[in-house]
Amino acid sequence: MMICNFFAFIFGAVVGSFLNVCIYRLPDKTSIIKPLSRCPHCEKPIRFYDNIPIISFFILKGKCRDCGGKISWRYPLVELLTGILALLLFLKFGLSLKFLAAFVFAAALVVITFIDLDHKIIPDIITLPGIPIFLLAGIFIMKVPWPEALIGVLVGGGVLFAIAFVYEALTKREGMGGGDIKLLGMIGGFFGWKALIFILLASSLTGALIGIAAMIIKKQDMKYALPFGPFLAAAAIAYFFWGDAFMRFVFMSY
């Protein structure tokens, strides 16, 4: 069993290397296939033996072999995070279609998180096709009842749209982008509408706590805004592991 867990982590870390390419190129609307990985400084192709997930970063001491340019810690962090997610999801679902669907969904959330942190956008190229794809995956692979999944898309997008509309009407400024609305619709389709209770509560609570801490540290006023996508993504990942217990608690209380 240990060897299976090891390969699950390695599989995730390798995928994480590809996710780094997506995070870097999708905002620029450039191909994620060609050219092959290059140094962001000198643009020389990265040798295959310098592209081993996590390990190569430490062997090269965080620098490009050719120009000595500094390589961001973001690269091994994404690889490590994706490897851990693959391992945890493998432990939960085993080698199954559910594992594959859950991992692809989690990988999409990783890309969305880091792009939103860097650019404060959530790419439509992920969420627009992601809504029908993950809706179908939720119904046919994760076995979410189709009415719950469909309502999840509508409610997920509708709740944030309503919040954004009211906020903008009251403050005369945009507080939530359309990307967040589409992201929550995608999440709702994959998990079903009931999961949105946990996801909205968890993302709002963590977003508020971290936002207040960031305002204090940076000495900003209430207009200081953090991207909400990473909090939605983190709450969706958390739902895989704690959502069932939370929902049992909520619905058994009534």
Band of pLDDT at residue 159, cut at 50, 70 and 90: confident
Return the bridge partners of 70, or none.
63
Closest CA to 123 of 227, 195, 14, 240: 227
pTM for the model stands at 0.90
Round to the nearest angstrom and report the end-to-end CA distance of the chain: 40
Mean pLDDT for the stretch of residues 1-11: 93
Task: Specify whether the CB–CB gap between 83 and 13 falls below 8 A.
Answer: yes
pLDDT digits (tens, 9 = 90+) for 65-100: 888 889 899 999 999 999 999 999 999 999 999 999
Domain boundaries, the chain: 1-95, 121-254
In angstroms, the CA 207 to CA 213 distance is: 10
DSSP line for 196-242: HHHHHHHHHHHHHHHHHHHHHHHT--TT----SHHHHHHHHHHHHHH
Most confident of 3-12, 47-56, 68-77, 218-227: 3-12
pLDDT digits (tens, 9 = 90+) for 168-179: 666 666 555 678
Q: Cβ neighbours of residue 156 under 8 Å, at least 6 residues apart?
A: 184, 185, 186, 187, 188, 189, 193, 196
